Amino acid sequence: MTTGAAPVRQLDPADATELRRTAEKILAAAGSTTIASPQLLARVAESAAALPPAARHQLRPVDTDDGLFVLRGLHVDDAELGPTPAGWATAADSGAVHDVVLLLLATAMGNPIAWEGQQDGRFVHNIVPAPGHETRQTGASSAVLLSPHTEDAFHPGRAHLLMLSCMRNPDRIATTAAGIRRVRLDDADIELLSRPLLPILPDAAYAEARHFDGGPPPAVATLFRSEDGLTLRFDPAYTPLDDAPPAHRAAYRRLTDELARVSGAVRLEPGEVLVVDNDLVVHGRVPFSARYDGTDRWLKRASVRVPARRTRSLAEESEHGYGQAAIEAHAG
C-alpha cells in the first residue's frame, strides 16, 4: 500500500486550524512547565473532550480490519520547525506545538501513555536517525530494515494504538505495515502460535529492562483469537527463535512470510499522521542513508491505550513487564 492506498481520514480545515490554535493556547498557559506536566495534560484532556463532534468522529480509534489509517489535514511549516534533531536526547521541546497537537489527537482516541524507561518519560517521542545507532533495531536506526514488529511487544501494558506524526520526510522514506487479518495461515499454524512458548525480550531502547533480574522472561503467545478475529504480538528481532522446536520455528517463519506478502508502504508527508492498531498491524521502516545535516526524516510518536478494549489474552496480566512502568494520561 502507498499512502494514497491506505484508508484516509480527512480533517476539516477549520478543525485542523482549531487544533493548532488550541495547542498554542495550552503551551502559552503552561508557561515553563514541561509537555509531560500534569497541568498541561489536564488542559489537553479538557480541550480534547471539547472538540466538535465532526472532529471527534475522525479521531475515533481504528475500527476496521485494515488496522490502520492516515489522518490528513494538519499543517507543518518546515521553516518554522527548525532542523531535524541529531537524536531524541537533544530534541528537547523541538516542535513543541506539534507535540501538543499529537497529544490532543491521542487523547481523543484514548489514554496516551509514556514509559519511565524510554525517552525520559515523554508522552511524545521524537523519531529521528541518530549517529552510532544506524544498524540497531530501534527507531533511531537508518541503514538497516527496521523489522516489522508490534510496538513494545515485550510488555503486557503496551499501547493499543500507535500514532506516527510526520514532521519532515523529504526522501519519502516508507513506513511498512502488515495486518494479521490479511494473512493466510492454516489452523494448525494458528493453534501452534497461540501457545505461549517463547519470550519477547525488551528492545535496545529500554536499557534498564534488558538488565532486569526480577524473574525469568515470560513465555508469550504470538497469536490470539479475540472476539473480532486474530490479533498478534510479534517482534522477531527480540524473540529467541533458536530455542523453539522445529515445528514452531516453521510456523513462525510462515507467519513472517505471510506478513511480508501483505506488507505495504506508507510514505508519510508532513502533516499526515499514521494511526496503527498495535494488536492487528506490525510496522517497520525501510533502510535509508541519514545525512545528519538537519534535513533528515523526523516523526513524532505517541502511544495510546483504549479503555476497556479486549483484544489480548488475560494471561498477559501476570507478566512482570521486565520492571518497566507505564505512565498513563487519562482522557477527560
Q: How far is CA 218 from CA 20, 101, 144, 169, 232, in A?
A: 43, 37, 29, 38, 16
Q: Residues 297-316: pLDDT tens digits?
A: 999 999 999 998 888 988 99
Which pLDDT score, from 0 to 100, does residue 205 have?
79
Q: How far apart are CA 239 and CA 291, in angstroms?
A: 31
To 5 degrees, how large is the angle CA 128–CA 154–CA 175? 35
- 33 forms beta bridges with none
List of E strands, 216-316: 223-225, 230-232, 264-266, 273-277, 281-285, 298-305
Which pTM does this prediction carry? 0.94
Poorest-pLDDT segment among 38-42, 165-169, 287-291: 38-42
Rg of the chain over all Cα atoms, to the nearest angstrom: 19
Q: How confident is the model at residue 174 (pLDDT cuts 50, 70, 90)?
A: very high
In 3-state terms, what secondary structure has residue 66?
Answer: coil
Question: What angle in degrees, to the nearest 10, is found between the helix axes of 96-109 and 38-49?
Answer: 60
H helical segments located in 194-312: 207-210, 246-262
Identify the residue with better confidence: 331 or 61.
61
Residues in the chain: 332
Tell me the domain boundaries of the chain: 8-328
Q: What is the mean pLDDT of residues 34-52?
A: 88
Q: Which residues of 203-221 are buried (b: 16+ CB within 10 A; e: fewer)?
A: bbbbeebeebeeeebbebb
pLDDT computed for residue 242 by the predictor: 97
**Which of 36 and 127 is assigned the larger pLDDT?**
127
Percentage of the chain with pLDDT > 70?
96
What is the Cα–Cα distance from 53 to 58, expressed in whole angstroms?
9
Cα–Cα distance measured from residue 83 to residue 91, given in angstroms and rounded to the nearest whole number? 10
SS3 content of the chain, % helix, strand, coil (to 5): 30, 20, 50
Q: In this model, does residue 5 exceed pLDDT 70? A: no
Question: What is the rounded average pLDDT for all residues in the chain?
Answer: 92
Alpha-carbon span 295 to 286, nearest angstrom: 18
Q: Which three cell numbers stand for residue 315?
A: 494471561
Closest to 41 in 3D by CA, of 286, 278, 302? 302
Using CA atoms, how far apart are residues 327 and 114, in angstroms rounded to an integer? 5
pLDDT (0 to 100) of residue 12: 96
Q: Residue type for 94, please?
A: S
- CA distance readout (Å), 272 to 71, 73, 74, 294, 306: 6, 7, 7, 20, 22
Band of residue 166 on the pLDDT scale cut at 50, 70, 90: very high
- Does the pLDDT at position 219 exceed 90? yes
pLDDT band at 117 (very low <50, low <70, confident <90, very high): confident
The per-residue pLDDT for 255 is: 98
3-state secondary structure of 330: coil
Q: What is the pLDDT of residue 33?
A: 63
pLDDT band at 222 (very low <50, low <70, confident <90, very high): very high
Whether the predicted pLDDT of 241 surpasses 60? yes
50 vs 117, more confident: 50
* CATH value of 8-328 in 3.40.50.880, 3.60.130.10, 2.60.40.10, 3.20.20.80: 3.60.130.10
CA atoms of 181 and 125, how far apart (whole Å)? 28
Residue 140, pLDDT score: 83
- The answer to whether the beta carbons of residues 12 and 2 sit under 8 Å apart is no
The answer, yes or no, to whether residue 2 has pLDDT greater than 70, is: no
Using the structure block, give the residue that is written with the C-alpha cell 471527534: 56
Please state, in angstroms and rounded to a whole number, the distance separating the CA atoms of residues 254 and 134: 28
In which band, very low, low, confident or very high, does the pLDDT at 330 lie, cut at 50, 70 and 90? low
